[in-house]
Structure 1
Amino acid sequence: MSRRTWVVVLVGASMVFFTMGTRQSIGLFLKPVTEDLDTDRESFALALAAHNLILGLPVAAMLSDRLGPRRVVAGAGLLMGAGLAIASRADSVAVFGVSLALLFGIAVSGSSFVVVIGAVGKEIPISRQSFAFGLITAGASMGMFVMVPIAQGLIDAFGWRGALAVLAVVAVLVIAGASALLPADDPTASSATDHAIESMSDAVRRAVRNRSYLLLTAGFFVCGFHVAFIAAHLPAYLTDEGLSDRTAAIALSMVGLFNIAGSLTAGWLGDRYRRRTLLAGLYLSRAVVMSAFLVVPLTSVSAVVFGAVMGVLWLSTVPLTSGLVAAMYGPRYLSSLFGLVFLSHQVGAFLGVWLGGRAFDSTGSYDPVWAVAVVLGVAAALIHIPIAVGDDRSPAPSMAS
C-alpha cells in the first residue's frame, strides 16, 4: 500500500478507535444512570436500542458517497460531542434517551465502520481490501480494550455525568479534528477497479435483487444481535451474579483486546480464502462459545476467558462482510451498499439490547436472550453457506461489470 493509503487507513482506524470504544462503553453506565434517574433497565435498554437502530441508517453512508467522507466525518464529530454533553446534563430518562439515541446515534453512523471502510475501499485494490478492513476493525477493537477501563475510571472518579462530559470534549478533538486528514472530498473520482459507471439508485436496485446480497444482509443481523446484547448487558449480568464491577469491566475489555488479533486474522484470511466459509465458521463458533459460557460455573476466570474467546470472534465478521460487498459490486458505492447491510446489523442490535432489558425486567434473568443468541448463531452459519460470489476473494466479473 502507498503512503497515502496508509495515512487513510491509520486515520480511519483512529476514528473508529474512539467512536466504537466509547459506544461499547455505554453498558458501564447502565446501573449508575438507572439508579440516579430512578428508572428501570428496560428504559435504558430501549434508549440504547434506538441508538443502535439510528446509527444503522445508511444516510451518512450515502452522503459520504455523494459528498465525500471529510465533511460527513467532521459533522459527526461535532454532533457526537453535543450528544454526549447533553446526555451528561440529563435530568430525566427521556432527555438522556434522546441525546443517546438520536444525536449520538447519528454521530456514530457518520464516523464508524461504514463511512470509514467506504473511504478506504476507494484507495485500496480489491486483492488487499479484506486486510485493510481488518486493520480498521482492529482499531475499533483496540478502542474497546482501551476505552472501557478508561470509561470505568472516569465514572469512578467523576460520576457518570462527569465521565460523559469528558468524552464529549475528546470526541470533538479526535473525530472532527482527524477528519481533516481524510482524502479530499472528490466523490466523482473513479477507482481503477470500477468496471462500470451507474447511479447509486441503480446499484441499490441491483443489490436488493441479488439473493447472495440478501443472505449476507440477513446473516449480519445476527452479528448485531450478539455484539449489542453482550456489550450492553454483560457487565450487569456478571455483577448480578456476584462478580465485581472491576471483573465486569475487564471481561468486556478482553473482548476488545482479543478482537485485535481476531480482526487482523480474519482480514488476512479473507484475502486468501472464501469469505462466506469463514463467516459461517465464525457464527457457529459464537454459538459454541456462548453455550459453553452458560454451562460452566461462573467465576471471575470464566468471565474473563469468555470475553477473550468471544473477542476473537467479535468484529471479525466486519472485514469479511464488507469484503464480500466490495467483491460483489466494487468500491464506487461501497459505503452505501455496505451501509444497507449494516442497517440489518443494527436492527439486530436494537432487538438484542432491548430484549435483554425486557427479559430481565420480566423474568429477573438474561437466560432467555442467551438461548436466542445461541440459536441465531447456528442459523447465521447456515445462511452463509449458499452465498454465491464466484471466487469471493476477488471481484465477481458477472457482478462487477
Structure 2
Amino acid sequence: MVETLIHRTALPTDDVRPAPPGKRRSFWRLASEQLSPAGRAFILSGLLLLGLALRVQRLDFQPLWWDEGYSVWFATHTLGDMLALTAQDIHPPLYYALLHAWIALLGPAPHTLRLFSVYVSLPAIALIPVAARRLLPRPRPATATPALVAAVLVALNPFHLYYSQEIRMYGLVGSLALLYLILAAPWLGPTAPRPRTPRACVALTLATAALAYTQYYAILLPLGAFLVVLFNRIKRRGQSSATPDPSLRSFIGAHLAAALLYLPWVIYAAPKLTTYVAYKVTQDADTPLSLADYVARHLTAFLIGHAAPAGLDTLALLALLILLALLILVGLSAQRSHGSPPGLSLLAVALACAFLLNLRFPFAPLRGERLLSALAPAFWLWLAAVIAPTTNPSPPGRSARLLRTALNLSLVLVTVLALIRFFTIPLRQRRLSPP
C-alpha cells in the first residue's frame, strides 16, 4: 500500500525527459532524469527507512525534561480531567488525547512514549514530496528533483529529528502542517484554482481543525494561507473583470467550518487560558525580539536545529544565513517570470503575523522556535526550491553555480555536525521552565 501511494502521489513522473542539449544540469536533476518511477519510489522508501532509523536511535539518550513530564502528566489523566487541565495550559488537548490512547495500549515507559513522537512525525518525510509537487512550479523539463530534495531535507533535518524524539506535540504539528499545505495547495497558487469537490473541502476543514486542536501557534499557518489566498484574489481581480470566485468561497467555507468545530473549545478554554497567558507573560517578563533577531532565530533553528554544532560560532551562522539569503535571491531572480513559490509568500506572511504576536505577547523561552513548528515545512519547501531550482530558462552563470554549490556543501557540513552533536551530547542539561 505504501509503495502504491508513493508511485501515485509522492514524486512527479509525468513528462520526464532530458534537458535540451547544451544546458548544464545539476546533480539532482541529472540523477532524477535517469530514474524510473520505480526507482524514485525506491529512493523515497529508502528515505523513510533512513528517517525512521535516525529517529529510533538512542531514544533514551536525551534526558526527559519538564515539558515532557507535563505531557505524560496530562496524558495519564482521564479524558475529562485532561480537558479541564489543558484548558489552563497553552496547548490544546489533541496530542495529549492521542498520547493517552498510546499509553493505554503500550504503557508509559519513556522509550515507548518517545516512539509515539517518532511515528507521528515520520509521515512528514512522505508528505513533503507531495507538497513540493503541488506547491512548487513544475520543473522544466519535468523531473522528481524538488520532491526528492525536499524529502532528503526533512529526513536529515536536525530540527525535525529533535522533535521526532521529544514527548511533545511538535512532531505531530509538522505532519499536520504538511497535510494542510497539500490540501490547501490548489488555492495557494497565483492562478485561479478550479472549483474543489466537497470531499476536498471537508478534508481541508478537518486538517485545519486538527492543527488548531494540537497547538495554538499552529493556527498561524492557516491564517497565513488565508491572507495569501485573499491577496492573490485581489491581485487577479485587478488584472481582469470582477467575477464571482466559487473557489474562494469554498476555501473560506472550509475554514469557517473548521472554526465552528473549534468553537466549543474556545468557549470552554478561553476564560482560563487568557488568565494563564496574562500571568505567564508577566511572570516571565520576556522582552519582544527585534524583527531581525526573530527571523534569524527561527530560520536558523529550522535549518540546523536549536544548538549550534561544535565549532560553528555565531559569525559562521550569520555567514550561513547570508549565503542562504543570497542564493534565495538568485533562485527568485531565475524564476522571476514564473513567480515565487507559494511557500515563500506563505512563510513570509505567517512569520510576520507571528512577529506581531511577539510584540504584543512577548514569549521567548529557550528553544522557543519550536512554537512555530507549523511554519518549518514552508521553509523546507522554499529551501528545496533553492537547492533544486524548478525552472531553468537559461544556463545559470558561473557565480550562481558556485554559490549554489557552496550552499549545498555548507548544508551538508552543518547537518552532519548537528546530527553528531545530537547523538553524542545531551542537549537538556538542566530543568527548564514549562512553555
Could you say which structure has the greater relative contact order, defined with CA pairs below 8 angstroms and 6 or more residues apart? 1
Q: If the length of structure 2 is used for normalisation, what is the TM-score?
A: 0.27
Q: If the length of structure 1 is used for normalisation, what is the TM-score?
A: 0.29
More helix by share: 1
